């Protein structure tokens, strides 16, 4: 008979403990962790009801989380909607670009379009290279588009959001992140890094370095609908929009069926079938934060990229999906 492990907060009453406990098949969970190790995972956390069910690797080492930065950026924008009007246009905000200026039509794009990746602006920008640029060209073409009419995964949108965040709040992205997320969530060693190429665009990219433990905390913040230690850090209604107001992307791949406020919405068949309302953030080489509200669960997954290229062990989207399938099969939620 397979052994079951029960997770329970010791500070709760016996009754509350009974209500909160969940069973995990430890034998199956160990197989899931072994699969992650073989696939090249650097660190992994599975968290349910706010408690770590299991972890693997160095969960406290800080490193780049790559495109997970976009989900963090949306959180920072959500936190400052008292200063940033989602319906303000780029013209209203005096946003331009160089060396290629924006057209009058492009300057009618709104903050909400940037958050939904529907500005339609196909401008040169940092880190939009290779297949990313080819995909954007295919989706947007080379002529100006009516804002809101076309979706594309577009680093220009996200870099301009960074400019708007800093311009409208008077804080750097680093200061906003430290004050709004890192300090309240007690993140240890997290860091914001900038990259700019003014030969392409005047708008810089802000990236983030986090530990896997802090990735899980960030996912937990969203699982909690923006609440942390009884403080509402992010407006609940905007977190709910992620899964209620997303765009179907038309991209291949089970984990990127939809895109909502810089989070991905997976197909319902993803990993053998996750509950409706699940969403995830992804980054290059296998960085992942998966939020499963119906199961009150967060999965944080990291690969290490701050090593020489030949030492990196990427975990593909299909491999991560298989890992999630194995994790799901380890839990009573799936049965």
How much of the chain exceeds pLDDT 70, in percent? 92
Mean pLDDT of the chain: 92
**pTM of the predicted protein model:** 0.93
CA dist 226 and 239 (Å) reads 7
pLDDT, residue 301, reads: 98
> Residue 127: pLDDT above 90?
no
Stretch 42-50: mean pLDDT:
97
Q: What is the CATH number of domain 4-61+211-334?
A: 3.40.710.10
CA dist 329 and 335 (Å) reads 8
The SS3 call for residue 314 is coil
pLDDT, residue 15, reads: 33
Check whether the bond before 99 is cis (ω within 30° of 0): yes
pLDDT tens for 187-200 read 999 999 999 999 99
Q: Which helix (H) or strand (E) holds 260?
A: strand 258-260
> Residue 168: pLDDT above 70?
yes
CA dist 147 and 162 (Å) reads 19
User: CA triplet 195, 197, 202: central angle to 5 degrees?
Assistant: 100
Q: How confident is the model at residue 333 (pLDDT cuts 50, 70, 90)?
A: confident
Q: How confident is the model at residue 252 (pLDDT cuts 50, 70, 90)?
A: low
Stretch 152-172: mean pLDDT:
98
Residue pair 79/163 in contact by the 8 Å Cβ criterion: no
pLDDT tens for 207-223 read 999 999 999 999 999 99
CA dist 254 and 265 (Å) reads 9
CA dist 267 and 178 (Å) reads 34
Higher-confidence position of 15 and 53 = 53
CA dist 199 and 269 (Å) reads 43
pLDDT, residue 130, reads: 85
> Residue 248: pLDDT above 50?
yes
Neighbours of 302 (CB within 10 A): 31
Contacts of 134 (CB under 8 A, 6+ apart): none
pLDDT tens for 83-106 read 999 999 999 999 999 999 999 999
Higher-confidence position of 291 and 17 = 291
Query: In 119-204, which ranges are continuous DSSP H helix?
Result: 130-140, 155-169, 173-177
What is the DSSP code (8-state) at residue 110?
A: B
Spatial strand order in the sheet of 279-283: 51-57, 43-48, 297-302, 287-292, 279-283, 263-265, 258-260, 247-248
Q: Where are the domains of the chain?
A: 4-61+211-334
């Amino acid at each position: 008979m397979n052994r079951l492990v029960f997770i329970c907060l010791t500070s709760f009453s016996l009754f509350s403990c009974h209500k909160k406990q969940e069973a995990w098949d430890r034998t199956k969970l160990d197989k899931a962790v072994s699969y992650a190790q073989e696939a090249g995972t650097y660190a992994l956390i599975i968290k349910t009801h706010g408690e770590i069910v299991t972890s693997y690797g160095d969960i406290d080492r800080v490193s780049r989380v790559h495109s997970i930065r976009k989900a963090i950026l949306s959180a920072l924008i959500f936190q400052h909607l008292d200063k940033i009007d989602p319906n303000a246009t780029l013209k209203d905000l005096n946003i331009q670009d160089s060396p290629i200026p924006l057209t009058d039509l492009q300057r009618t794009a709104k903050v909400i379009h940037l958050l939904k990746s529907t500005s339609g602006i196909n401008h040169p920008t940092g880190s939009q290279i290779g297949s990313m640029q080819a995909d954007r060209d295919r989706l947007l073409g080379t002529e100006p588009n009516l804002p809101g009419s076309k979706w594309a995964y577009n680093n220009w949108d996200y870099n301009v959001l960074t400019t708007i965040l800093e311009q409208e709040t008077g804080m750097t992205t680093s200061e906003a992140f430290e004050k709004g997320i890192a300090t309240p969530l007690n993140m240890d060693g997290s860091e914001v890094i900038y990259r700019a190429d003014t030969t392409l665009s005047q708008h810089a990219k802000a990236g983030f370095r986090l530990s896997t433990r802090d990735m899980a905390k960030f996912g937990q913040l969203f699982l909690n609908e923006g609440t942390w230690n009884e403080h509402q850090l992010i407006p609940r209604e905007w977190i709910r929009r992620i899964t209620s107001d997303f765009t179907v992307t038309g991209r291949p791949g089970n984990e990127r069926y939809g895109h909502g406020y810089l989070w991905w919405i997976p197909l319902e068949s993803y990993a053998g079938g996750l509950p409706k309302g699940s969403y995830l953030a992804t980054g290059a080489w296998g960085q992942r934060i998966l939020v499963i509200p119906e199961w009150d669960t967060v999965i944080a997954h990291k690969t290490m990229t701050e090593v020489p290229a030949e030492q990196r062990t990427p975990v593909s989207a299909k491999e991560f999906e298989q890992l999630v399938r194995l994790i799901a099969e380890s839990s009573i939620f799936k049965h």
